Amino acid sequence: MNSQLLYSIKVFHQEPLAQLAHLQQPELDNAEVKPLGEPRQYTTRFQGESYQVLEHNYAIFPLQPGQLVIPQASFRNGPGAAEVTSPPLNIAILNQAPQDPPGFWLPSSKASITENWQMPEPLVPGAAIRRTITLSAEGVPASNLPSLMPLRNELARIAIEEVTLNEEVTGAGLVSSRTEVITIIPTERGEVTLPQIVIPWWNTERDRNERATLPSAILRVIPGAAPISIGESLPPADAVKTMAQTEPAQKATAAPAMQENTATEPAAPANAQPVPAPATDTTPALPLASPQDNSLPFIVWLLAGFSILCALGWLYTFARLRKMKQDPFAPSMPLTEDQTAAPEAVEEELDAADLMAIQLAEEEAFNATIQACHQGMALEARLMMLEWARYIWPDKEVQNSMDMINASGSKTLELLLIDLENHINEHDTDDWAGDLLANALYKIRERQSVLLQTL
């Protein structure tokens, strides 16, 4: 199930084909059909005679186990010509194999995962790290590749900047890849541990379970200056040295001996403590305070302010979207006399900004939900799923699984959430498989997105 089946239709002819020649394309209700490139034309010999061949190639991905019937292929060399057909094909489709550990069902002939890091130097709180992860698989549509990295960490803010899906057609069928560009911003000093990434997949050539893995990573964050914004990097050591020499006079005069040493010696590490200036009289000199002692409270206040602004922004956009759903023809804001000339432009601009913010938050929550389902983390899946539900149904109050069932109206989701709640409440020690829930959420999200676009 969901594995690639290669299907070819070949038309052998000795006379030129008519301009209106028609080949019936395969259509299946219980399978996804993807054309593999453009039709091929070549010459071959068959039963001792020379023929021209028109070849169409397809990749078929069965969506459910059981008998897959590929209907007969039919070809007509123009209107009024006799129809040529081939017999139908019956193929037995097996159910997905049990996986250890349970995870996303990914049948492939070959799968691999790679990563690339862009690390600032030095690594201090607030510095932006970029991690690029690429999952490649043969014989899999790009849309079937799972999300790759968890987005929750106690010591860092993690967000997906970009997701790129790519499909290439080869002689062996589809070769697909999913690339995620992730920004990681440590919020405090210490060690930030990023867990191992494990993508279970089924090797269709060897008929066995395999795993594509990335090792866990530990980011050692040292104390440093104030946080930097996403996309910025810390200034080089020479620039830091120059900035230190051009600070206000009240700071520069505190330790003249240090400035002299800085000009002639290599730059000190970011976490080195300043040396107090030598005393010129009998009064003992007080040790100078480290710049880090003042930077840490600033970092804390800056992060707190940023969190408050983000919370206010989400509350504003959530309220705007709910109001828009209740009265989609209401103007976004009161119009003045100067604005009455083009009220539609003002409303469209504001609504686009609000919807973009909601879309980004919804996508992040959905990816986190799917990741938790694939990794069998029931509690995390429920938590992130309810957060995502508040974005996808902004006009409904979603506080628990029952609210989500009522909002979706899906019997399938109802059964899956009952199973999830039983697993959590009964403290079941067996592994929880969230693959079916993830598939159901994909379909609900697609359906709800279509409904929102019609409003």
Secondary structure (3-state) at 214: strand
**Is the domain of 367 the same as that of 432?**
yes
Name the residue among 142, 238, 139, 223 with its Cα closest to residue 189. 223
**Is the domain of 377 the same as that of 404?**
yes
* Last residue of one domain, picked from the residues 160, 192, 221: 221
Contacts of 144 by beta carbon, 8 Å cutoff, 6+ apart = 2, 61, 106, 176
pLDDT of residue 452: 62
Is 264 among the domain residues?
A: no
Name the residue among 367, 314, 442, 398 with its Cα closest to residue 149. 367
Is 13 among the domain residues?
A: yes
**Is the domain of 63 the same as that of 184?**
no
Contacts of 176 by beta carbon, 8 Å cutoff, 6+ apart = 136, 137, 138, 140, 141, 142, 144, 145, 165, 166, 167, 168
In order, the DSSP letters of 250-283 are HHHTT-HHHHHHHHHSPPPPTTPPPPPPPPSSSS
Contacts of 354 by beta carbon, 8 Å cutoff, 6+ apart = 317, 320, 321, 324
Domain span holding position 131: 107-221
**Is the domain of 89 the same as that of 113?**
no
Tally of CB atoms within 10 A around 204: 16
**Is the domain of 433 the same as that of 324?**
yes
Is 29 among the domain residues?
A: yes
**Cα torsion angle, 288, 292, 297, 302, sign:** positive
Cα 428 from chain centroid (whole Å)? 30
Q: Is 169 exposed, middle or buried (0-12, 13-18, 19+ CB in 10 A)?
A: middle
CATH number, domain containing residue 156: 2.60.40
**Is the domain of 211 the same as that of 347?**
no
* Last residue of one domain, picked from the residues 93, 117, 138: 93
Which helix or strand (DSSP H or E) is residue 44 part of? strand 40-46
Is 48 among the domain residues?
A: yes
pLDDT of residue 446: 85
Rounded-to-integer distance, Cα 236 and Cα 255, Å: 23
Is 31 among the domain residues?
A: yes
Is 279 among the domain residues?
A: no
Dihedral angle over CA of 99, 100, 103, 108, nearest 10: -50
**Two tokens, residue 225:** 């200056």
Rounded-to-integer distance, Cα 421 and Cα 404, Å: 13
**Is the domain of 212 the same as that of 139?**
yes
**Is the domain of 210 the same as that of 83?**
no
Q: What is the pTM of this model?
A: 0.52
**Is the domain of 141 the same as that of 62?**
no
Which helix or strand (DSSP H or E) is residue 448 part of? helix 435-454
- Strand pairing category for 107-108 and 197-203: parallel
208-214, strands of its sheet edge to edge: 107-108, 197-203, 208-214
**Is the domain of 447 the same as that of 396?**
yes
Q: Is 17 exposed, middle or buried (0-12, 13-18, 19+ CB in 10 A)?
A: middle
**Is the domain of 84 the same as that of 145?**
no
Rounded-to-integer distance, Cα 318 and Cα 324, Å: 10
pLDDT tens series, the chain, 455 aa: 889 999 999 999 998 898 888 898 888 988 999 999 899 999 999 888 999 999 999 999 999 899 999 999 999 988 888 899 999 999 999 988 887 666 678 999 999 999 999 999 889 999 999 999 999 999 999 988 988 888 788 899 999 899 999 999 987 899 999 999 999 999 998 999 999 998 999 999 999 999 999 999 999 999 875 444 333 433 333 333 333 333 333 333 333 333 333 333 333 333 433 334 333 343 333 333 333 444 445 555 666 665 565 555 555 555 554 544 444 333 333 444 444 444 444 444 445 666 677 778 888 888 889 888 888 888 888 888 988 888 888 888 888 888 888 888 888 888 899 888 888 877 666 778 888 898 889 988 888 877 766 65
CA distances, 378 to each of 204, 300, 352, 386 (Å): 29, 32, 35, 12
DSSP 143: G
* Last residue of one domain, picked from the residues 39, 60, 93: 93
Is 269 among the domain residues?
A: no
Rounded-to-integer distance, Cα 211 and Cα 199, Å: 6
Range list of β-strands (E), 195-324: 197-203, 208-214, 217-221
Is 99 among the domain residues?
A: no
Domains in the chain, number: 3
Q: Are 151 and 158 in contact (CB under 8 A)?
A: yes
Rounded-to-integer distance, Cα 194 and Cα 158, Å: 10
**Is the domain of 308 the same as that of 373?**
yes
